[in-house]
Chains A and B, each alone.
Chain A
Amino acid sequence: MSLTPSLKPLALAGLLSVVAAIGGCSDSAFESSFAYSEGTLSLVREARDGTKANPGVKTLLDDRFGDPQHLKAWEKLPIDFGGTITSLETVAESGDGKKLVKMTVPEGVALPEKAVSVQFVSGACSGETVQVAKWNAKAGEATLAAIPGKEIAAGDTCAIDRGAVLSSGRMLYMRHCSHCHGTSGDGNGPTARYMTPKPRDYRNGIFKFTSTNDMSKASRNDLSRIVRYGIPGTYMPSFLLMKDDEHHAIIEYLRFLSMRGEYERKLVAELSSDYSQNAYDSRLKSGEKKAEIQKELDEFLAEDLKESAGTLGDDLAEIWTAADTDEAVIVPSVPRVPDTPESRRHGRELYLSKTLNCADCHGIDGAGNGPQTIAFEKNPAKSDELYNEPGLHDIWDNLNQPRNLQMGMYRGGRRPIDLFSRIHAGIKGSRMPSFKNTPHEDIWHIVNYVLSIPFETDPGATGITPIAAETLAAPAAVTAPAAG
């Protein structure tokens, strides 16, 4: 009551704006940035940030992918960034300083129902983005805000709502995914620490459960299935109720983050052996001159890195495009063998056989307790030092023990084709190898056996004694844990 009446409206206005910010109406509430990988941060400053003349890893990344608020569409990549490309047929003054334009309706393509902005791709205004004041999709007529100092002309090519899919994907990703998978897709969001297994770090461009060959990326369809149906046995829930356009936007954004991470990793790989801070220091120690290394690095940045910055993008485009083709998908050459006791029996024989040796990891009765689960593995990331804990690790450095097949919990899907693909292509990024050279009929026998394991009253009671039981009991590759 100490406020004088004249101040009251002001106090109210202040309160409202605070509420708006907390309520998330303000855009700044979503502001975030892509974290650079550890690899990038381990480089010497020039390699990381670039020099005046030449770009470094960070500059290249920012230039091609932007930051979450200003995403960039690197046309080379096979991502549906969203937007319709068209050109101006006529341009006229609308009278209130705005421009009345008519767009060419491309044949077979409908202009979007709604339009917010138009970005010019060619002409005097190339690169400029203007707001759409009025929009008539059928006639292709729009009223555009004028661009000060520049004139748009008939014939200019423009893109309607360029990047709409990607930016809506980003909004959805931030809402549904980022708290586990992280803003940059590094699998390290705020809730990630409470989870086992850890959320996927997309930056390797590797996804575990795919329908594609062992060397192929995940297809859009694979990512789509995971997002729709979730992964039982992990924290990944199903997003079945998401609308189709939202679903599409999220998948495209996931692929964008994967490609960004993979691009970053590959750029770093070009530089890290010679120009990481550690390598740099040891080179100085071994007697190399600072100026010489600098000169060499300058040359490397100016030539090699610039060249690979382009070719790496081409490679990414090629390999991700290939994943969506029919050639990448595993199609068994024979249909599933009928699920008979004989087939299961044969499957179990193969499961225990020395060549396939499934039991080495998954255990004699499929309980996921094979000898490899108690062996100490070498850590390839730390010059083959042994891991502190026994068991199998994935490329993300997480302990990733083989599946207990008695549970009937199939993370990558329970359809026979899913299990077939797991065996044929392996589980990417994990120690489950590809058995692509195994005859498809044999894989089907194993699938039949594996699907029967949860329902066996007496596990392994198919009457086959494990031939390699003795050798299995004492793992051949086991190494003693390092003392201390």
Chain B
Amino acid sequence: MKKFWALFFFFWPTVAIIACLIAPSRGWWFPGAPMSRTGIQIDGLFYLILIIVTITFVATQYVLGYALWMGATKDPGSKAFFSHGSHKLEIVWTIVPSFILVFISLSQLDVLAEIRVISKFPEKATKVAEVTARQFEWRIRYPKPGSELTTEENPGDLYYVNELHVPTGKPVIINLRTQDVQHAFFSPQLRVKQDAVPGLVIPVWFDVLEVGTYDLVCAELCGWGHYKMKARIVAQSQSSVDKYLKQLEAEQNEDGTKSETAKSADE
């Protein structure tokens, strides 16, 4: 029975090694590959921490297992000896982890700054839309084609709901705000997550690497309908976005007299 417990504690770190080796290639950690530049960096940080934590966990578990094994295989007649501990060992196991922690916090500073600090935003980033969260949907406002996005609404702005179109391959900024309570703008595939705070207009930047449709969900429990607060981000080429906005503009200026001809033209 004694040996069982020693083997038990050898078993789990072995499982951990296998899991950590297989997981990245199987995509167990993330909902697909990162689809934005910062997303790649975030994943890199995640794997860095994963490696450090795995090594630490496995090493300490094997030491534990070793200690148990040595205890289990000891001659039953042998005497125990008393030890008051080792100052040197304690200093080592305090300093080594603190160096690791300082290393981790320093290595992520750049990425964090790039994501959150406005002065570090890419210079070429354009403001594409304002996203207003509310219970329980995402209201989108694009500036009138050819104009800049401002915090105030302007005549000719284009409105939509639950579908955000952004160009791929270039950094874009959305202005995030909320109409009621706290929400969070979260796109798992893009690795973008930012809280929307009442009273604040928070710029969020990201660049989408590939054309596609990505989820946009609320990641802050905002009320009973939190689960239904789901939208999509449609990433497409700049020309497709322009085309979309042009179509949206036409729809929004619909005066009901042309619709018949427009409909038949569509069909």
Contact = CB atoms under 8 A, between A and B. Distances in A.
Contacts of A408: 153
A416 interface: yes
Interface string A222-251: 000000011010010110110000000000
Given A237-B136, A240-B161, A334 B257 contact: yes
Given A237-B136, A241-B231, A417 B256 contact: yes
A191 B254 contact: no
Given A237-B225, A415-B251, A452 B256 contact: no
A22 B154 CA distance: 50
A124 B228 CA distance: 48
Contact of A335 (B230, B232, B257, B260): B257
Interface residues of B, number: 28
B135 interface: yes
A406 B229 CA distance: 28
Given A330-B256, A415-B251, A416-B255, A240 B163 contact: yes
A331 interface: yes
B86 interface: no
B126 to A, nearest CB: 24
Interface in A152-207: 176, 179, 191
B255 A335 contact: yes
A238 B232 contact: no
A420 B255 contact: yes
B224 interface: yes
Contacts of B163: 240
A74 interface: no
Nearest to B215: A241
Contact of B159 (A191, A240, A414): A414
B254 A415 contact: yes
Contact of B254 (A240, A417, A452): A417
Contact of B256 (A332, A414, A451, A455): A332
A328 to B, nearest CB: 13
B255 A237 contact: no
Interface string B117-151: 00000000000000000011101000000000000
Nearest to A179: B224
Interface in A319-352: 330-332, 334-336
A232 B137 CA distance: 10
A191 B257 contact: no
Given A237-B228, A408-B153, A414 B252 contact: yes
B159 A241 contact: no
B162 interface: yes
Contacts of B257: 331-332, 334-336
B31 interface: no
B255 A455 contact: no
Contacts, number: 68
Interface residues of A, number: 30
A475 interface: no
Contact of B162 (A241, A332, A451): A241
A454 interface: yes
B196 to A, nearest CB: 16
For B232, B257, B258, the residue with the greatest tally of chain A CB atoms inside 10 Å of its CB is B257
Q: Which of A237, A408, A414, A417 has the most CB of B within 10 A?
A: A237
Interface string A410-423: 00001111001100
B155 interface: yes
A240 B135 contact: no
Given A331-B256, A332-B257, A417-B254, A454 B153 contact: yes
A191 B161 contact: no
Given A238-B161, A408-B153, A455-B154, A415 B252 contact: yes
A230 B179 CA distance: 15
B253 interface: yes
B160 to A, nearest CB: 8
A246 to B, nearest CB: 13
Contacts of B139: 232
A415 B253 contact: yes
B230 to A, nearest CB: 6
Contacts of A421: 256
Interface string A431-468: 00000000000001000000110110000000000000
A444 B153 CA distance: 22
Nearest to B258: A335
B254 A230 contact: no
A405 to B, nearest CB: 14
Nearest to B230: A241
B217 to A, nearest CB: 11
Nearest to A424: B256
Contacts of B154: 455
A420 B253 CA distance: 12
Nearest to A416: B255
Nearest to B179: A232
Nearest to B158: A414
A230 B161 contact: yes
A287 B66 CA distance: 102
Interface string B191-232: 000000000000000000000000000000000110011111
B161 A229 contact: yes
A455 B155 contact: yes
5 contacts: A235-B135, A238-B162, A330-B256, A451-B155, A452-B155
Q: Which 10 interchain pairs have the tightest Cβ spacing?
A: A417-B256, A336-B255, A240-B162, A237-B137, A238-B161, A415-B254, A335-B257, A416-B255, A238-B137, A238-B162
